[in-house]
Homo-oligomer: A and B are copies of this chain.
């Protein structure tokens, strides 16, 4: 449990005018999640006390991390995760009625929250996104965007002219990482799971793309990264990462953001990477984005600037309907999304 920085909290019991719907983690995941892992519940929310506000979910996030994280929770726990919501009623001056906010409220339609009672994961009012949709607060202007921004710049620290490889490249984080790599003047190679995804990455400016489902990743990387690999931003783990790590240059940096290749399966055996680590003096660091909580708005503002300057593009895979949240989650884990996967409530 101690590894969980991002826990879900909500407040609500009975006797209120508002009824929330909430997706519950009904059965422990085994392999790929199915509908049987989830159960929909209803819950009457309480009247607001001083400091509370009532929020209605507009967009709910489905993210890869939820699959491994939930394994640490007992059956019957509400599903965790972020949402972009609108404040419907408020007894909290910091969250006025009508404001668009981000909150770690989980998979639920309505939430009563008093931020002062939360030790971590406090909700925040979204910065002014201008004409951009508020759903970006779950993606390029939220957690995945900050994951890309801080993970790449702080842990890989790519220098102009270096070669950056990113796996899971067509996901919310991967597509963003590659574009920052281009902004920094690097050669960028993306690894993704379909020709359509690869085509989109080329549109974003990736120098080379590899469809791992049809190509020999090791061999294609040799061609795509002829000077070797200086930075590897990893979202997948497993055999793809094995192929990348073998081609790292001396003093290469590896940021390990996720290992989606083994979230639904047992962890595979791979060639022990430690010998590569020694003789090439590689540095590898795994991370959760919450470590940069104290610089959160810096990341959002930097990404917003790049969007406005036309340097950063984004894509969303939007599923409609609160009842579809589990399905959107299952699809995302199988790579069904391009860019950020969200559910419009």
A positions within 8 Å CB-CB of B: 2-3, 68, 234, 237-238, 241-242, 250, 256-259, 262, 267-288, 291
Contact = CB atoms under 8 A, between A and B. Distances in A.
A241 to B, nearest CB: 6
B250 A277 contact: no
Contact of A269 (B256, B270, B285, B286): B270
12 contacts: A3-B250, A68-B275, A237-B274, A237-B275, A238-B274, A259-B275, A262-B272, A269-B270, A270-B271, A278-B288, A279-B288, A281-B287
A271 B270 CA distance: 6
Tallying the copies of this chain within the complex gives 2
A280 B3 contact: yes
B291 A287 contact: no
Given A282-B286, A283-B284, A286-B282, A238 B277 contact: no
A2 B227 CA distance: 12
Contacts of A250: 2-3
A286 B277 contact: yes
Given A3-B250, A68-B279, A286-B279, A272 B270 contact: yes
Given A3-B279, A259-B274, A262-B275, 9 more contacts: A68-B279, A234-B274, A238-B274, A241-B272, A242-B272, A256-B277, A267-B275, A269-B270, A281-B288
Nearest to A257: B278
Nearest to A266: B271
Residue with the highest number of chain B CB atoms closer than 10 Å, among A2, A256, A258: A256
A29 to B, nearest CB: 15
B272 A259 contact: yes
A337 to B, nearest CB: 20
A277 B274 CA distance: 13
Nearest to A239: B272
A282 to B, nearest CB: 5
B270 A278 contact: no
A120 to B, nearest CB: 15
A52 B276 CA distance: 38
Nearest to A276: B286
The 10 closest A-B pairs by CB, nearest first: A277-B286, A269-B269, A237-B274, A278-B286, A283-B285, A259-B275, A256-B277, A270-B272, A284-B284, A259-B274
A197 to B, nearest CB: 22
Nearest to A285: B283
Contacts of A267: 271-272, 275
User: Which has the most chain B C-beta neighbours within 10 Å: A68, A250, A269, A284?
Assistant: A284
Contacts of A283: 283-286
Interface centre among A241, A274, A275 (most CB of B within 10 A): A274
Contacts of A2: 250
A3 B282 CA distance: 11
A1 to B, nearest CB: 11
